[in-house]
Amino acid sequence: MIRKQKYGDEIAKAHVLIEALPYIKKFSGKTVVIKYGGSAMLDCNLKRMVMQDIVLMKFVGLNPVIVHGGGPEINKMLEKLGIESKFVNGLRVTDEATMEIVEMVLMGRINKEIVSLINELGGQAIGISGKDGKLLKAEKDISNGDIGYVGKIVDVNIDVITMMLEKGYIPVIAPVSFGDDGKTYNVNADTAAGKIAEALKAEKLILLTDVEGILSNINDKSSLISRMDLEHAKEFMNSGRINGGMIPKLECCIKAVENGVKRAHIIDGRLTHSLLLEIFTDEGIGTMIGKECFDDDNL
């Protein structure tokens, strides 16, 4: 008994590893597309922990693919250079000069920083943009009027990612896309991650956000919805009970699942090791969306 108590903590740690075993088996060799953005990208400690999670995933046999955003760093640089940012419906009006800075910050700074961190932690990453290997083809998005070089993705060519995965690399993708007109387009990172996951027929699409997941508000009490099947997710989307900022994220998850991604997850990037907790535990920590999500579909 004393022995048992003495080793209690250690045994609990072993239980954690054992809980992960069925998921390591199930997801080994499978592709997981992770949209990396928000707070998890701003805080140095969080950054490191997200990349540790990703390197661990790789070493236990999963194939993580990272798609990253850039938000605040782009604003900072534009400010430094004295370029004024204008917004329409929350979208940045992107003229040629702004697009140049966006590309510079995303590829030159953020992308390479992620690559270095992964390499430092023992993984092997390759950073590319949507232009490389013609990964993301875009057209001008005029759904909000003409706001410049903001694009919508019209074609995805995953050859370059497949090549990297076959050789054991972790692809790190900046969502800067090319157009047939020879121009460069900025595309939304969530959407890019969703489209890449679809094209890869990925096991999972995981969006790291600054919220717990999809919340249901009943009588002013909000609680996390842990699992949703497609029907539930669509109904929720149209119910008007969803927070405005979450609409495009949920929409992106629904589309991905409709187009062949097994599960889409919206998780809290502010929480340390949220990726590991979602993927390798039974309950997870965010919202998981699947075509059909049964309670016993864990294994």
Ligand X SMILES: NC(=[NH2+])NCCC[C@H](N)C(=O)O
Window contacting ligand X (CB under 6 A); options: 34-42, 75-83, 92-100, 276-284 = 276-284
Choose, by CB under 6 A, the member of 63, 186, 209, 287 that binds ligand X.
287
Tokens encoding 207? 């969006």
Question: Is residue 286 at the binding interface for ligand X, with CB under 6 A as the rule?
Answer: yes
- Is 131 or 227 the residue whose CB approaches ligand X more closely? 227
Tell me the number of residues near ligand X by CB under 6 A.
13
Alpha carbon distance 236, 128 (integer Å): 36
Residue nearest to ligand X (CB): 284
Tokens encoding 112? 């390479």
Question: Is residue 191 at the binding interface for ligand X, with CB under 6 A as the rule?
Answer: no
From the list 43, 45, 58, the residue with the least C-alpha distance to 279 is: 58
- Is 124 or 281 the residue whose CB approaches ligand X more closely? 281
In the region spanning residues 250 to 269, those forming contacts with ligand X, defined by CB under 6 A, are 263
Alpha carbon distance 231, 19 (integer Å): 29
Question: Is residue 64 at the binding interface for ligand X, with CB under 6 A as the rule?
Answer: no
- The amino acid at residue 99 is M
Query: C-alpha angle with apex 276: 72 to 203, nearest 5 degrees?
Result: 90
Alpha carbon distance 276, 256 (integer Å): 21
240 is in an annotated binding site: no
**Count of helices and strands (H, E) across the chain:** 11, 16
Smallest separation, CB 261 to ligand X (Å): 12
Please name every residue paired with 138 in a beta bridge, in sequence order, or none if there are none. Answer: 153
Question: Is residue 23 at the binding interface for ligand X, with CB under 6 A as the rule?
Answer: yes
Q: Which residues are annotated as a binding site for substrate?
A: 70-71, 92, 186
Interacting residues with ligand X (CB under 6 A)? 23, 226-227, 263, 278-279, 281, 283-284, 286-288, 298
